[in-house]
């Protein structure tokens, strides 16, 4: 917070400026026809199905209702099937892009950042349009979304505006490596895009401050408050507390089949991330994700609370 306090007006101006510059579709992307087929791949890489389907209660695909327990309250994911009444059937492509990349609903209201638009804002023009094209092909489900169970002050949607001002950097990824000294080669760039934008890995694997902003100094170093109230492990290359002992192949293979090099299954939500997401990605993309993770600066951090009784 302190880093912005010196020049809040300038920061605000920069925010609005980047919103206008970074988020508008480029002319090139608009010229290309969106493809539902490519969108299916983006859909898997982005892990939409895992959160927007209440699989524990046999909910229909993307009909929402899954409970996301966070330290701020319980969020219920909304119905994002193409149903015109209860889903996103009436949304234009522009509505969809604004929701995914800016966290703003078609009626202008703010989405809570439980929806990881903080990551999806980095999604490319082509990918977000393909994603829209794909989601529109899925079966509509006429089921109302469930209201969130979140206490004051986090239930004030207008507060999200302030939260975004503090914690949301809209727009695409920079063309250089700002995370480490590693070269921003093609594989690394693809890996960063998959991990940071689509995969939104940091949303669980990076710890948050009291207001729910990511502590970027502990990027991917694990969090006590991961999904489902469980801790999320450190995935930086620290050999003791992270996954430094894993080879690139080990990482790619774990994302493909859901098993660690120790022969253990990946835990809780990660099993679903693999099932609905990373297991469907190409070997090249998994290798790129591994290359990105291995190039991160190693951070010593062991998340995890004592077992609950």
Partner 1 sequence: MQFRAKPIAVFSALMTLMVAFCLSAGGASAQTAEAAAKERQAVMKSFGDWSKTLAASAKSGTADAATAKAADDISAGMQKLPALFPAGSGLDKLPGSTRAKPEIWANFDKFQGYAKDGQAAFTQVATAAKSGDGAAVTAAFTKAAAVCSACHKEFRGPEIK
Residue whose CB is less far from partner 1, 167 or 231: 231
H-helix or E-strand containing 266? none
| Binding of residue 274 to partner 1 (CB under 8 A) | yes
Answer for the pair 298, 200: CB distance below 8 angstroms, yes or no.
Answer: no
Residue whose CB is less far from partner 1, 170 or 258: 258
In the chain, the DSSP E strands lie at 67-70, 73-76, 149-150
Cα separation, 191 vs 139, in Å, equals 31
User: What would the x/- binding string for partner 1 be over residues 246 to 265, using CB under 8 A?
Assistant: ---x---x--xxxx-xxxxx
Cα separation, 78 vs 64, in Å, equals 5
Encoded tokens for 306? 């004592």
* Nearest approach, Cβ of residue 201 and partner 1 (Å): 18
Contact positions with partner 1 (CB under 8 A) in 174-233: 230-231
Residue whose CB is less far from partner 1, 159 or 267: 267
* Nearest approach, Cβ of residue 263 and partner 1 (Å): 3
Name 214's bridge partners. Answer: 208
Cα separation, 175 vs 45, in Å, equals 21
| Binding of residue 67 to partner 1 (CB under 8 A) | no
Among 9, 158, 181, 308, binds partner 1 (CB under 8 A): 308
Of 114, 265, 301, nearest to 200 by C-alpha is 114
* Nearest approach, Cβ of residue 256 and partner 1 (Å): 7
- Residues forming the site for partner 1 (CB under 8 A): 230-231, 249, 253, 256-259, 261-268, 271-272, 274-275, 304-309
């Amino acid at each position: 917070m302190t880093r912005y306090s010196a020049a809040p007006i300038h920061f605000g101006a920069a925010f609005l400026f980047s919103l206008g510059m970074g988020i508008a579709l480029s002319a090139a992307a608009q010229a290309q026809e969106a493809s539902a087929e490519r969108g299916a791949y983006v859909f898997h890489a982005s892990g939409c199905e895992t959160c927007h389907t209440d699989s524990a209660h046999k909910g229909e695909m993307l009909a929402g209702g899954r409970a996301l327990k966070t330290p701020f309250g319980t969020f219920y994911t909304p119905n994002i099937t193409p149903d015109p009444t209860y889903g996103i059937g009436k949304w234009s492509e522009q509505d969809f892009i604004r929701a995914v990349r800016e966290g703003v609903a078609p009626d202008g209201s703010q989405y809570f950042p439980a929806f990881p638009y903080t990551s999806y804002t980095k999604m490319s023009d082509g990918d977000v349009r393909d994603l829209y094209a794909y989601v529109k092909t899925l079966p509509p489900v006429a089921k109302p979304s469930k209201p969130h169970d979140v206490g004051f002050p986090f239930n004030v949607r207008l507060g999200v505006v302030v939260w975004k001002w503090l914690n949301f950097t809209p727009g695409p990824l920079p063309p250089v490596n700002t995370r480490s000294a590693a070269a921003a080669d093609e594989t690394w760039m693809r890996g960063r895009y998959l991990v940071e934008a689509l995969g939104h890995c940091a949303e669980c694997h990076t710890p948050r401050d009291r207001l729910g902003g990511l502590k970027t100094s502990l990027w991917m170093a694990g969090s006590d408050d991961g999904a489902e109230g469980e801790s999320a492990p450190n995935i930086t290359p620290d050999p003791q507390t992270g996954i430094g002992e894993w080879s690139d192949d080990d990482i790619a293979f774990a994302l493909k089949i859901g098993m660690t090099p120790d022969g253990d299954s990946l835990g809780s939500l990660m099993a679903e991330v693999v099932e609905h997401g990373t297991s469907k990605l190409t070997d090249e993309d998994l290798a790129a994700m591994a290359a990105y993770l291995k190039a991160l600066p190693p951070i010593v951090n062991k998340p995890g609370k004592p077992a609950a009784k």
